[in-house]
Amino acid sequence: MTSPTSSSFTRRAFATVLVAAGAVVLDACTGSGSAGASGSARPSGSPVTTAAASSAASGFNKKKYSTTDPASIWVVVNKKHPMQPKDWAPTDLVHPAVANVNGQPVRKAAGSALVAMFAAAKAEKGLTLSLQSGYRSYQTQVRAYAAAVAANGRAKADRVSAHPGYSEHQTGLAVDISAVPAAHSLQTAFGTTAHGRWLAANAHRFGFLLRYPADKVRVTGYDYEPWHFRYIGTELAQYLWRHKVKTLEEFFGVSGGTSY
């Protein structure tokens, strides 16, 4: 596995590859109904934990929802843990009433939370946000990953594109968010904008987690993506925020990393 660090040129190149593959989603790395059954342990890899995560977990019911059931709002999807089954698709996709660059749906609970979050950004700071990308199917990821490999080779493709079945976007709970008017869309500089800063400081209020923090690349397996948020529900998102735990891997003791 090569270094997970990728240049803005690589991100733009992969965006072009996605379009060529018939995928209108233009993010660089990954791509409610029933919240799922009770939690179950991950069978492979070494779990990731931190002192903060261990302390935070005390008194919190980490088994309320599953971390392996793809229908669960707490499902953990990364390079060690694919969707099970890999071609799973949500049954409660909706198109939220927000600006939507690529016209993609998300799961119902995530959509409702997105509407509320965008409204708050507008009311509190006068910021207008748009949904850049949402749900991506298994078949879309098959085409996108194959096109990335054909264009750049497997090693480089693995730096910017998830293997089919390993993309958070397939859960219908991951969203890429951009500013209106567009500014630094799908670029790390988005995190320095007023829109990016507001999201980083407030997404937890609405049940979202900044999924790929800058200082957790070795845990999540992906570069810093200040535009990529994952819906996990307000109970968990606010709990993680209060206890300063940044990743699902660390909180649930689930293995992660930069290699498959």
Token pair belonging to 250: 């660390």
Other beta carbons within 10 Å of 259: 11
| Helix 8-20 and helix 138-152, axial crossing angle in degrees, nearest 10 | 120
pTM for the whole thing?
0.83
Amino acid letter, residue 192: T
Domains and CATH numbers, the chain: 38-134+169-252 (3.30.1380.10)
Residue of 249, 246, 254, 253 whose CA lies nearest to 229: 246
d(CA 192, CA 184): 9
Residue from 225, 235, 249, 250 carrying the catalytic annotation = 225
pLDDT at 31: 40
Read off the pLDDT band of 107 (50, 70, 90): very high
Is 225 tagged catalytic?
A: yes
d(CA 17, CA 148): 6
Tens-digit pLDDT profile for residues 205-232: 999 999 999 999 999 998 899 999 999 9
Token pair belonging to 218: 């070795």
